[in-house]
Structure formats: structure tokens, C-alpha cells
Amino acid sequence: MICERFDRPDMDDCIFCQIVAGDIPSRTVYEDATTMAFLDANPLAPGHTLVIPKDHHEHVQDIPAGVAGDVFATVHRLVAPVQDAAGAEASTVAFNNGEVAGQEVPHAHCHIIPRFTEDGSAPIHSIFGERPDLGDDELDDIADDIADGVSD
């Protein structure tokens, strides 16, 4: 889904907020108080589904903790029905989190993309180029920084 308004990511311009509001039609497959799921308008595979928080939050880390739990609960609930409807034996479940990571609509959304044997696609690992050569000290520092940054 292409968003031409990434430079003005306010809610009035957000295509997903407009879907939530009913101003833009969608093939909605699930909805509850805080989350919604609908077919991607430009699917990468049959059954390609997006799960979003209904409120506008740009990044995963912007979603309030309780709603983040709701989003994952909806992802968890949808994976099997999406795979079954597509006749798929697997799926890629992923967020492009931030514009640099390829997020095209600035409203956090989780992709559930059915996968098939020999569908020509690849694992998430394949989107990365050369792997960094990290020493033990660097790995220890990064692990410590992450652990220190976690708040509950």
C-alpha cells in the first residue's frame, strides 16, 4: 500500500485511520474495541492481512502497552484463519517499523502474509545484506544497553 503523505503523517491524512472511520472501504476480516484487521489493498499473496491498532500510533513502540497486547492477541487470533483461507501452510508475520525499515503507511501495522512452498519468496533474513562482524565485547555492550533500556 503506497502512502504519498508520509511527510504529513497526521491522522486526517492517514489511510488506516480513514479505514477505521469507515471513510475508505476495506475488506475487514476482524474488529474489536481496540484493533482491526483487513486485507491489504496490494497483497503480496492471497490472504495478505494487516492488523492495526484502531488509534493512530506510528511505530510499534508508540502503541500503549495494553493496546500492544491487544494487537498481538488479534495477530495470534488471525494467523490460522488467514493461512487456512489461503490454503497456506505457513506465513510471514512482521512489522516494517519505521520509514527506514520500509514502513509505507505511518500507522503501525502487522503483516500476516501467507506463504507457500516455492512461492519465490524468502525468509526475513534475506532482506538484510552483509552481516555485521560483532565481537564479544560489542555484543555484551549491546545486550547490556538493551537490558538497561527496558522499562516495565
**Considering beta carbons, is residue 17 or 86 the nearer one to Zn ion?**
17
Catalytic residue among 48, 57, 107, 109: 109
Nearest distance from C-beta of residue 148 to Zn ion, angstroms: 32
Identify the residue whose cell numbers are 525499515: 101
State the minimum distance, in angstroms, from the CB of residue 74 to Zn ion.
16
Rounding to the nearest 10 degrees, give the CA dihedral for residues 82, 110, 11, 67.
100
Q: Residue 143: left if φ>0, alpha if ψ -120 to 50, beta else—which one?
A: alpha
| Minimum distance from residue 71 beta carbon to Zn ion (Å) | 13
Site for Zn ion, rule CB under 5 A: 14, 16-17, 56, 107
Residue nearest to Zn ion according to CB distances in the complex: 14
State the Cα–Cα distance between residues 8 and 58, nearest whole angstrom: 12
Catalytic residue status for 76: no
Rounded Cα gap, residues 103 and 21, in angstroms: 21
Q: Which CB atom, from 18 or from 92, has the smaller least distance to Zn ion?
A: 18
Q: Which is nearer to Zn ion, 48 or 56 (CB)?
A: 56
| CA–CA dist 27, 133 (Å, integer) | 44
Active-site residues, by number, are 109
